Amino acid sequence: MTDPRPTRRDLMKPVQLLGFAFAAAAFGGIITLVSMGFFQDLDGDERLHVIVVSLIVAGIAFIATLVIIALLMLAVDPAQITKPVDQGVLLPESGDDAPAETAHGDDGPDASASDRPSGH
C-alpha cells in the first residue's frame, strides 16, 4: 500500500467511466431484449425488430450515461483533483464531527421579530 488515499484523478479515470457507461448500456439492452420477448418463439422479422430496438435503447443509455457523468464532473473544482479524498465531497471541511452552524445563528429560528429587518 504505497498510496493509502486515492486522488480525485484516480477516481475519475476515463476507462472506468466508459466501462460504467457500457455496463449501463448493456443492462438497458438486455432488459429490452427480455421485455420484448427475444428469447421466446419469434420469427426472423420480429427478432430483427427486437434487436434494432434493443440496440437503440442501449445507445441511448450509453450516451445519456456519458453526458450525465460529464456534467457531474464539471461540478468538481480542477484545483481539487490532486487533493486526496478524505471524506464526502459535500461534507463540511471542518475536522471535528460537530454540526455546522445554522443559518439562523445562535438565536435559532424562533428569534424575536425585533431582530429582523422591518423591510419598510
Q: What is the pLDDT of residues 50-67, one digit of tens each?
A: 999 999 999 999 999 999
Judge contact between 59 and 26, C-beta under 8 A.
no
In this structure, is residue 91 part of a structural domain? Answer: no
Q: Which residues make beta-bridge pairs with 7?
A: 84
> 110 lies in a domain?
no
The single residue listed with the C-alpha cell 428469447 is 39
Q: Decide: 93 and 85 in contact? Cβ < 8 Å.
A: no
> Is 71 a member of any domain?
yes
Tell me the residue range of the domain where 15 lies: 1-80
Query: Which pLDDT belongs to residue 35?
Result: 94
Task: State mean pLDDT over 18-24.
Answer: 94
Residue 109 within any structural domain of the chain: no
Residue 1: inside a domain, yes or no?
Answer: yes
Question: pTM of the entire structure?
Answer: 0.59
Say how far apart CA 120 and CA 108 lie, in whole Å. 24
Question: Does 43 fall in a domain?
Answer: yes
Give the mean pLDDT of 75-86.
Answer: 72
**What is the domain count for the chain?**
1
Q: Give domain status of residue 37, yes or no.
A: yes
Residue 105 in domain: no
Contacts of 107 (CB under 8 A, 6+ apart): 115
